[in-house]
Amino acid sequence: MAISIEDHELPYNTHNLYDVNFFEDKIRTLVTHTPSFVDTWVAETQQKIHQNNNPADHPLLVGLDIEWRPNRMRQIENPVATLQLSTDKDCLIFQLLHCPTGIPQSLRDFLSNKNYTFVGVAIEGDVEKLVGDYDVSIGNAVDLRVLAAEKLGTVQWKNSGIKALVKEILGKQIEKPKRVTMSRWDNEWLTGDQVQYACLDAFLCYKIGESFQLPLPDMLHTKEHVQKRWKKLFIRSIYKEDHRHKISTTYIWSERVHLGTGVRLCRDAGRVNFRNRKNQASSDIVEEEIPRSKETCLYGAQEVHHPKGD
């Protein structure tokens, strides 16, 4: 069978091992929510990466993807449940949602290391969600759709999915069953189908990235690469209500994240006052679009907080 999975069925509550087979490749996959196993995986992976790669020739690649429980209600945004990382034939599926002590520092350092290039499909969305849910920064993030459009010379690839990229770049056919895509990724124990699905997403991102001759990490920070890599992350709002004077104040500021460095730039929009209406819900807030500031196009910028009125 071209695509299959073998469960090692380890008798532990902390982790399990799988072998995911993709045609001629066998991906050794660790599924865990335990920080110590993540620490070990990161240390072993870094050692293998540096042994098998020459940074002078090409960047150190890592395939990246995330999964979360589908959002069934508009007002509820479920947090990232799993983070998948793949370096060639090794994959980590880290169940962040069930980690008792938060994300290990070793993993934070690994993800923020600018010597590695993390590749994924629509990876900017994954970066935003990781920052928003866990305050995790990615050192160098590259969208494979953009690379495909550049390499293949067709703009349409900027809107493609991983199935189309795998077929075009790797010449292989994969399925993305909706029953797995929309499954309960927040479950403590993932099914074999979920493990195979999650592993292949990260592994295939790595394989596609490997097929492209990417610029070196240092090159990713030149002006032409960085100028358009600032993206608005979200607008934060704090709502305060003065019942005595019937005045509500919403403090608003926007935050942008740099997709290459994870540096965040904030702009304070001041505050907005308005009189409460009779039936206005206390949770209502006022949001406004924040103009793009000049600093968002500068490379090498540090975190900037703009005073009100700038």
* Integer CA distances (angstroms), 105 to 39, 110, 133, 188, 307, in order: 8, 8, 16, 22, 32
What does the DSSP assignment read for 190-244? Answer: --HHHHHHHHHHHHHHHHHHHHS-PPPGGGGGSHHHHTT-EEEEEEEEEEEEETT
pLDDT at res. 233: 43
Give the span between the Cα atoms of 70 and 182, in whole angstroms: 6
Starting at the edge strand found earlier in the chain, the sheet holding 247-258 runs: 230-242, 247-258, 264-275, 305-306
What's the mean pLDDT in 239-267? 45
pLDDT in tens, 173-221: 999 999 999 999 999 999 999 999 999 999 999 999 999 866 545 444 4
Classify domain 3-221 by CATH architecture: 2-Layer Sandwich (3.30)
pLDDT in tens, 127-151: 999 999 999 999 999 999 998 998 8
pLDDT band at 54 (very low <50, low <70, confident <90, very high): low
Q: Enumerate the CATH 3.30.420.10 domain ranges in the chain, comma separated.
A: 3-221
Q: H-helix or E-strand containing 43?
A: helix 35-52
307 pLDDT more than 50? no
**pTM > 0.85:** no
